[in-house]
Structure 1
Amino acid sequence: MYRQLQLVIILTFLSILAVAQQPRKIKLIQADIMAYNKALGEGVQRIIGNAIFEHDGAYLYCDSAHLNDATNSMKAYSRVHIKSSDTLNLYGDSLYYSGDTKIAEVFDNVKLIDNKTVLTTDKLVFDRNTGIAYYLTGGHIVNEQNTLDSRRGYYHTNSKDFFFRQDVVLVNPDYVMNCDTLQYNTQSKISWFRGPTTIKGEETDIYAENGWYNTITDISEFNENARVKNGDQVLTGDSLYYERKNGFGQAFRNIQVTDTVQNIIVTGQYALYDKTQGYTLITIKPEALFIEKNDTLFMHADSLWATFDSEQKTKEVFAYYHTKFFRTDIQGMADSLIYSFADSTMRMLGDPVLWTDENQITADTIHIVSANEEMKELYLLNNAFIISSDTLGTGYNQIKGRNMTGYFTENELYRIDVVGNSETIYYVREEDGTLTGINKAFASNMSIRLRDRKIKQIVYIQKPTAVLHPEGELGPSDLFLKNFRWLSDRRPLKREDIFVW
């Protein structure tokens, strides 16, 4: 008896559940005329004039319709309107709707309005079960200041998410975005994109293959082959973060900044860009390449900074701490370095050392002036010291003074003027290389002439004192001027050496 009662309860429950799961019938609420026409099919009602239907909470309006009770479906014509909720309205010229599947197909002059979002297309399928509407033949969306076009699109009316495919174009008053795949939320105004994507603005062009963009805040993140072009500068990296309104950006991993006007490339693993303050910072193994017609100067420091003007043109490059550079004809190192494009001058600060040909050059501060991609003048300020190895012996030719000015022709040093407390130690040799003696001289000032990278003449000015000592006469300590330092082991001999301090 108990089991029979259980069976009755189960069967009753299943019958109730089956009734509940049966699709609801489409109801005719009102119309001017209702008639039957066998030509339309068995059980098909013809509805004419101001027709209103209801199905599962949604209302459908049209001028005329064919309602099929047997299949629980209908066709609607002229001024079709589906009101699915307080905010969601769908319009078109004609419609096919199934009450069993709750799927509507709307044709011609289709318009879907959801709050401030308007979608227009020529055919739209709307699934009321999932709340998803989609088109496959091209659509146009307007959402406040943003408009969007694509070949295919899917709108999730519940989450307010659009998914667009193929020939996607998002137009904003400040930029135009083109991509292959885009997700856009009409409430947050954030778009997520996939595939090759370009964002073109008045001053900034962006390319990436993965990322997101907030159209309200103009904040974005770009990944996969990301690139930002601003004026003459191009920034690339594995990942870029950019705030367009205030011109602030960050880049991460495999970064490269290219200045197409100044012919500079700067690489590193982290970069910070601040348009308002007018600078770019690159750190974590940064390297700067100053590209010239016949050669390239490679520079490394703990951090590299570039400043630019209001037109985004680079003004100066700053290298801070453990700075080293290499070019085939000149190398150097210093605590810090500044290069100014206005006067084409490199300023080396903090225990600077410069090597050119056989010469090692030091001072408290070193300035190198260039023109037309060639060195023109060299300024050694305070404690100037030039050393070169005596190529046929073990000694060193030395020039010392308070300040020095060097002059170049075709990047070769040909003259040095020494001002204040001038001293020299010079190994004098015959043309066959025989050592004549070691000349040790003092003067207030002196002028030195070089040819083929060797000293050919020294002119001592004001109170000169010079003694030519035969070989072996001077003791070891007398062969070196005060503060002598030979730093050949620190000299970068190839590009890779600039990373070794």
Structure 2
Amino acid sequence: MKIFFKHIRFIIFLITFSPLILFAQKTTKVQLLNSNKLIGVKTDGKELNRLIGDVILKHDSTIFYCDSAYLYKGTNNFEAFSNVHIIVNDSVEIFGDILNYNGNSRIAELFYNVKLIDNKATLTTEHLFYNRNTKIAFYNTGGKIVDKENQLTSVIGYYYTSQKEFFFKDSVVLINPDYIMNSDTLMYNTETETSYFYGPTTIIGDEDSIYCEDGWYDTQFNITRLKKNLFIQHNEQIITGDTIYYDKTKGYGLAINNVVLIDTLQDVVVKGNLAEYQKNKGFAFVTDSALAITIDNNDSLFLHADTLKIVFDTAHKAKILFAYNKAKFYREDIQGLCDSLVYNFKDSTITLYNEPVLWSDSNQLTADSIKIVIANNEIDTMVLFNSSFIISRDDTATFNQIKGKNMVAYFTDNELKKITVDGNSQTIYFVREENGELIGINKAVSSKMLIFLENKQMKTITYIDFPKETLFPEKDLSPKDIILKGFKWLEEKRPRNKMEIFYW
């Protein structure tokens, strides 16, 4: 940025002090090519020729037309009035009402109804300087640039006619059929139709609004790169990050570092350091410290995985969230981990795959896969598929256990109240007096079971189809007899707060 403004200051220097350049140039005289009438006049001690009607003047290769003019003798200067027309070269022409021209410095100053036209853009203003040495036009009282699709206004403006580039400063407004841009400083190339903006900038479209302080936008190919304090809003979705690249035609976007995606309709926030967006394919993914937050006033859920993928519906609303590789989440009433996870926004279900583990209060739940159903932002049911296992600690060394093929756990007010077990049901339960004294250890098998809990403890167990139940004294069972096959106590992996989801 410092280099950029050094360049601008240098351009201003060239315009302001351009007579110094003449030491390296050959000075030529202004030539009179035509005038219907010539009158010699002396005023204020100055001799001049008053030219009237179809006036044509020439300086080097530049031709000047006007209705009348004052050609000052001995100074190489002239003033032109009415229908002023300058042909700078094959592609640049300038029009105005009044012209002051210095043939030695080669600077033209035009007033009122000024218009500069090149092949691709037209500049209009009330006061314009044009330096033939540097081939730069300058205004500082407000101007407007128009090309085939864009209209741009600013207080200060420079036009580099050789490079076909405009530089604008102060109250810059660019109007395009698809958006309106307001900026502090902007450069625009008429050949590439690309805008470069610096300082506080807003871009407002039909469905999008953008804020940033550095970037460029190719209006011809609808490609943009934004950075520095950037903020983008698309309907109910917001994105921020250090740098964003977006190709509107392809519907492809890339965001880098400190990326935040917010869906205010679904109350979801996704963060990471690398995000890719495929609008036409209807998805986006986030990696590198990826974090998803489903917002709830009472209890938000925080989810981390190597990669988070969001799938959108046809209305571009978040439909499904996928978490791949080492997914781990935390909510005050439930925590979990698995290799991959799917969150369905439509029916508020979370499905965990590949060695999932869930913790709720004092309970640990495992299975081949687990489906969590949430209703009114509270856990409603958990469905465990194949190799289902529920463990809760009885004391520091013993555990109550429920095992079966499939299970359904039912919750009320986020507390586990009922469990149904279907297929190869087994339990180990430590039966105690109200004072906590151990009565015995209950071991049971059955085809099916129905278990009710109260105050987070088993209250009743109903065995269905071919039950077998025995209450053993503690002394009759060895340590291996009070552990069901497949038992794994994984408390050390349980996240205790939202920061621990980043540690596997």
TM-score calculated relative to the size of structure 1: 0.94
Q: Decide which of 450, 470, 484 is 1:447's aligned counterpart.
A: 450
**Residue 402 of structure 1 corresponds to which residue in structure 2?**
405
User: C-alpha distance in 2, partners of 1:205/1:310?
Assistant: 21
User: C-alpha distance in 2, partners of 1:25/1:69?
Assistant: 11
User: C-alpha distance in 2, partners of 1:91/1:235?
Assistant: 46
**Residue 265 of structure 2 corresponds to which residue in structure 1?**
261
Q: Decide which of 415, 419, 422 is 1:419's aligned counterpart.
A: 422
* Counterpart check, 1:32 vs 2:29: no
* Counterpart check, 1:128 vs 2:115: no
Q: Decide which of 85, 91, 106 is 2:89's aligned counterpart.
A: 85
Gaps of 5+ in 2: 1-21
SS state at 2:500 partner: helix
Q: Percent identity?
A: 48
**Residue 248 of structure 1 corresponds to which residue in structure 2?**
252
**Residue 52 of structure 2 corresponds to which residue in structure 1?**
48
User: C-alpha distance in 2, partners of 1:88/1:407?
Assistant: 79
**Residue 439 of structure 2 corresponds to which residue in structure 1?**
436
User: C-alpha distance in 1, partners of 2:234/2:353?
Assistant: 31
Gaps of 5+ in 1: 1-17
**Residue 482 of structure 1 corresponds to which residue in structure 2?**
485
Task: Output the amino acid matched with 2:48.
Answer: V
Q: 1:434 to 1:185 in 2, by over 3 A?
A: same
**Residue 303 of structure 1 corresponds to which residue in structure 2?**
307
The answer (yes or no) to whether the contact 1:222–1:241 under 8 Å persists in 2 is yes
1:251-300 Cα offsets, whole Å, 9 max, x none, are: 11111111111111111110000100101100011011111120111111
**Residue 119 of structure 2 corresponds to which residue in structure 1?**
115
SS state at 2:480 partner: helix
Q: 1:188 to 1:19 in 2, by over 3 A?
A: closer
User: C-alpha distance in 2, partners of 1:140/1:338?
Assistant: 53
Task: Output the amino acid matched with 1:171.
Answer: I
User: C-alpha distance in 2, partners of 1:320/1:25?
Assistant: 77
User: C-alpha distance in 1, partners of 2:475/2:279?
Assistant: 64
Q: Decide which of 470, 473, 476 is 1:473's aligned counterpart.
A: 476
Q: 1:40 to 1:64 in 2, by over 3 A?
A: farther
1:31-82 Cα offsets, whole Å, 9 max, x none, are: 0110022236521111100000001111110001111022211111100011
**Residue 353 of structure 2 corresponds to which residue in structure 1?**
349
Give how far 1:19 is off. Answer: 11
SS state at 2:253 partner: strand
**Residue 9 of structure 2 corresponds to which residue in structure 1?**
none
Task: Output the amino acid matched with 1:158.
Answer: S
User: C-alpha distance in 2, partners of 1:355/1:21?
Assistant: 84
The answer (yes or no) to whether the contact 2:120–2:191 under 8 Å persists in 1 is no
1:46-445 equivalence runs, <5 A: 46-391=50-395, 393-445=396-448
SS state at 2:496 partner: coil
User: C-alpha distance in 2, partners of 1:182/1:148?
Assistant: 10
1:162-195 Cα offsets, whole Å, 9 max, x none, are: 0000111111212221111001111011111101
Q: 1:202 to 1:246 in 2, by over 3 A?
A: farther
User: C-alpha distance in 2, partners of 1:235/1:311?
Assistant: 18
User: C-alpha distance in 2, partners of 1:291/1:341?
Assistant: 12
Give how far 1:231 is off. Answer: 2.8
Task: Output the amino acid matched with 1:231.
Answer: N
Give how far 1:247 is off. Answer: 1.4
1:200-259 Cα offsets, whole Å, 9 max, x none, are: 222332221101111101111111112222232211110100001121100111111111
SS state at 2:476 partner: coil
Task: Output the amino acid matched with 1:488.
Answer: E
User: C-alpha distance in 2, partners of 1:114/1:51?
Assistant: 23
1:315-369 Cα offsets, whole Å, 9 max, x none, are: 0100001000011111000010000011110000000000000000001110000
1:125-144 Cα offsets, whole Å, 9 max, x none, are: 00111000011111111111
**Residue 6 of structure 1 corresponds to which residue in structure 2?**
none
SS state at 1:431 partner: coil
User: C-alpha distance in 1, partners of 2:88/2:466?
Assistant: 104
SS state at 1:472 partner: helix
The answer (yes or no) to whether the contact 2:30–2:58 under 8 Å persists in 1 is yes
User: C-alpha distance in 2, partners of 1:101/1:341?
Assistant: 70
User: C-alpha distance in 2, partners of 1:39/1:155?
Assistant: 36
The answer (yes or no) to whether the contact 1:378–1:407 under 8 Å persists in 2 is yes
Task: Output the amino acid matched with 2:471.
Answer: L
Task: Output the amino acid matched with 2:489.
Answer: W
SS state at 1:227 partner: strand
1:103-130 Cα offsets, whole Å, 9 max, x none, are: 0110000000011210001110001110
User: Which shows bigger deviation, 167-176 or 425-434?
Assistant: 167-176
User: C-alpha distance in 1, partners of 2:148/2:191?
Assistant: 11
Task: Output the amino acid matched with 1:257.
Answer: L
Q: 1:444 to 1:22 in 2, by over 3 A?
A: closer
The answer (yes or no) to whether the contact 1:289–1:296 under 8 Å persists in 2 is yes
User: C-alpha distance in 2, partners of 1:435/1:74?
Assistant: 114
TM-score calculated relative to the size of structure 2: 0.94
Q: 1:72 to 1:390 in 2, by over 3 A?
A: same
Task: Output the amino acid matched with 2:134.
Answer: T
Task: Please give the root-mean-square deviation of Cα atoms over the aligned residues, in Å.
Answer: 1.4
User: C-alpha distance in 2, partners of 1:19/1:145?
Assistant: 42
